């Protein structure tokens, strides 16, 4: 099991280039099966989840190649409509294959997806969306078998602005007869990126980034070349690490608009920020101020994927911070690990009350999920002494060489495989 040995107390400084977004590239890679053609995807992060998605595409008959930060996918005639169970169990994002496979083959079989243990993440909304488009679904023995003789456009009213359900609705609707309207749609930048990719492929979609998305189905799809948007969560994680060490950094290839609420919380904590076109200059205060309240919400609210990192940061801020998690009920697993480092955090249901301490102390901690693992790295960089973060395979699922990036900014992290 891989682990990080972190020597804390070193001020991070320098510049770094933000790579393509994990949460954008996965549904876009799934979408490549739809055109039965050649696809070139640029600015792709080299992540475990990305490699798993490519294994899935290869297993169903695609030809994939990953060179540098460019992925090519030739989605020629597919060999099967069954997604391998062992690969689905590794990654929740395999659920994104539902819409594209139904669009392409009219049929798909897969097991319930795996991923991080951050609480129940039912796929009921995904299935409800597909049923409204005319898909019949048989659930038995942990498997889903979905069939669609003829997808038909309709109005889809989402009970909650789920990112995944919105994306699956878009993917399935591209090949549906007629018009599809998705109401109460998720507004995340990754939704806009998927719309732009599908439109580049020949689809006709509008409204992404708003609460209503409009899709005209049955468009002829063609080969496509596309670049992924920068990863706003990776950018926010770097800023949190720099803030925790009292450092400064220049982020390049970043869209500051995607980070507006996160940047506002850094400013509240006493950091200074200067935004330029595709760049952010960030300088931490010598002692962070507590952020009075943070509440995770769907975009443009504070992202749940940045909650653990901010919780970690607030353990060394002056004062008391209150963080409320509204998206996933088990996002506070990191608290037990941070307590080993001397933090003072009390959890009451979905609310964490953090009383800042002068300094954390290095300890042996265990990454239980992706973002929590990154938050432990942040804590280790800020702490006195050595911190060992175990089970970093979770971190590798969402960060392309996080240790190397931190070391390039002056951090001291040694990976032990």
DSSP letter at 227? E
Number of Cβ atoms within 10 Å of the Cβ of 243: 28
Q: How far apart are CA 225 and CA 237, in angstroms?
A: 29
For 315, list phi and psi in degrees, rounded to 5.
-65, -20
Question: DSSP letters along 351-396, please?
Answer: EEEEE--S--B--EEE--SHHHHHHHHHHHHHSBSEEEEE-THHHH
Q: Indicate if the alpha-carbon torsion angle 108, 110, 116, 121 is positive or negative.
A: positive
Q: Check if the beta carbon of residue 271 is closer than 8 Å to that of residue 284.
A: yes
3-state secondary structure of 153: coil
271 part of the active site: no
What's the token pair of residue 127? Answer: 């299935």
Residue 148 near residue 106, CB atoms below 8 Å: yes
DSSP letter for 82, please.
B
Q: Which DSSP letter does residue 410 get?
A: T
- In the set 116, 154, 271, 405, the catalytic residue is 116
Q: How far apart, in whole angstroms, are the C-alpha atoms of residue 380 and residue 6? A: 6
The token pair that represents 268 in the structure block: 């509240």
C-beta separation of 174 from 215 below 8 A: yes
Structure tokens given for 297 = 């919400």
Over the Cα atoms of the chain, what is R_g? Answer: 21
Candidates 289, 296, 297; CA nearest to 266 is 289
Q: How many CB atoms lie within 10 A of CB 203?
A: 25
Catalytic residues: 116
């Amino acid at each position: 099991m891989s682990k990080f040995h972190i020597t804390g107390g070193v001020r991070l400084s320098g510049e770094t280039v933000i790579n393509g977004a994990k949460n954008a590239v996965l549904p876009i890679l799934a979408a490549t099966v739809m055109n039965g053609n050649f696809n070139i995807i640029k600015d792709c992060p080299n992540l475990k989840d990305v490699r798993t998605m490519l294994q899935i595409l290869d297993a169903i008959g695609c030809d994939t190649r990953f060179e540098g930060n460019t992925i090519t996918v030739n989605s020629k005639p597919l060999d099967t409509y069954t997604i391998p169970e062992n690969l689905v169990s590794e990654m929740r994002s395999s659920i994104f294959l539902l819409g594209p496979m139904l669009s392409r083959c009219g049929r798909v079989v897969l097991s319930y997806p795996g991923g991080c243990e951050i609480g129940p993440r039912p796929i009921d909304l995904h299935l409800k969306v597909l049923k409204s488009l005319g898909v019949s679904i048989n659930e038995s023995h942990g498997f889903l078998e979905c069939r669609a003789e003829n997808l038909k456009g309709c109005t889809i009213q989402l009970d909650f602005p789920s990112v995944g359900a919105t994306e699956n609705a878009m993917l399935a609707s591209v090949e549906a007869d007629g018009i599809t309207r998705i109401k109460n749609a998720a507004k995340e930048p990754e939704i806009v990126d998927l719309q732009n990719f599908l439109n580049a492929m020949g689809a006709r979609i509008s409204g992404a980034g708003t609460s209503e998305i409009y899709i005209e189905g049955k468009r002829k799809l063609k080969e496509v070349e596309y670049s992924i948007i920068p990863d706003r969560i990776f950018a926010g994680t770097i800023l949190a690490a720099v803030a925790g060490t009292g450092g400064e950094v220049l982020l390049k290839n970043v869209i500051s608009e995607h980070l507006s609420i996160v940047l506002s919380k850094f400013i509240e904590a006493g950091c200074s920020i200067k935004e330029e076109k595709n760049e952010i200059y960030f300088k931490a205060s010598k002692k962070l101020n507590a952020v009075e309240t943070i509440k995770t919400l769907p975009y443009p609210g504070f992202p749940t994927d940045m909650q653990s990192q901010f919780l970690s940061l607030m353990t060394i801020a002056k004062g008391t911070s209150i963080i409320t998690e509204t998206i996933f009920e088990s996002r506070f697993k990191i608290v037990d690990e941070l307590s080993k480092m001397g933090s003072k955090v009390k959890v009451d249901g979905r609310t964490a009350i953090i009383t800042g301490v002068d300094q954390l102390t290095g300890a042996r901690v265990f990454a239980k999920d992706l973002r929590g693992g990154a938050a432990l790295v942040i804590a280790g960089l800020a702490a006195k002494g050595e911190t060992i973060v175990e089970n970093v395979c979770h971190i590798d699922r969402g960060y392309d060489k996080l240790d190397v990036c931190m070391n390039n900014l002056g951090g001291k992290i040694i990976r032990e495989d």
